[in-house]
Amino acid sequence: MNKLTAYNSPGSRIPVLDRQRNLRPVQAVGQPTNNMAAHSKEDKEGQVERVRRKKPITIRAAPQAVGKGQGVEQPLVPPSLTSEDPLNRPEEALGQALCFLQDEEWERKTEGLRLVRALAEHHADVVLPELHYITTAVIAEVKNLRSIVSRGAITTMAHLFTHLQRQMDSEVEGAARTLLHKAGETSLFIRQGVGLALGTLVHHCSPGRVLQG
């Protein structure tokens, strides 16, 4: 009888035949053992624990967003105005201011508006008895077609609202209507002035009167 030749191929499942043992199964390479399964379980648990220990991600706002105040409530700040010098004879200055505002020359109108600003800032007691008359004269110049006069009148309204504050409540309706009309103009020079005047109106006048106006 011919002898059987045994083929011992690594990783093979084919039985090996020899004279000593009729059948000797060869264990397949790569089969997971109990130790390998245990190590795999430990690795997974370690990964989970490392994830748990990680610090939470902190999302910071972009610097440009913080600079612009996005998402941050900003306090209401009144617009800043230039200051005028006190007048030596405020009663006379008031009469002069009203005369200048009725003049046709734009230089005189701008000087009259400057006097009104100084009176509102330093001599409110002189302005208040004639407040409606003064405000009406200034509002008329807000509508002036010459931009330098119109802007001067708009700035003067801002001074009146800033320095006389709630004393201007009775003038809110007429002033707001005229200022909002000017806000639709294409001139940035005028629109910036309107924004300034409306800002002072909202900040210094009574909230209820502002809403009604």
Name residue, tokens 């505002």.
Answer: 101
Q: Is residue 207 part of a domain?
A: yes
pLDDT in tens, 40-89: 555 656 655 554 555 444 444 444 444 444 444 444 455 567 889 999 99
Could you tell me if 154 and 182 are in contact, meaning their C-beta atoms sit under 8 angstroms apart? yes
> Do residues 6 and 18 lie in contact, with contact meaning Cβ atoms separated by under 8 Å?
yes
- Measuring CA to CA, how many Å separate 134 from each of 12, 25, 99, 184, 198? 110, 115, 11, 25, 18
Residue ranges of the chain whose pLDDT lies below 70: 1-80, 213
pLDDT of residue 62: 46
Q: In 102-135, which positions are buried (b, 16+ CB within 10 angstroms) versus exposed (e)?
A: eeeeeebbbbbbbbbbbbbbbbbebbeeebeebb
Q: Where are the alpha helices (DSSP H) in 23-77?
A: 34-53, 63-68
Measure the CA–CA gap between 186 and 188, rounded to whole angstroms. 6
pLDDT, residue 137, reads 98
Residue type, 92: E
Residue 43 lies in a domain: no
Residue 8, domain member (yes or no): no
Domain count for the chain: 1
Residue 122 in domain: yes
Q: What is the extent of the structural domain holding 131? A: 90-212
| 1 lies in some domain | no
Instruction: Identify the CATH number of the domain in which residue 120 sits.
Output: 1.25.10.10
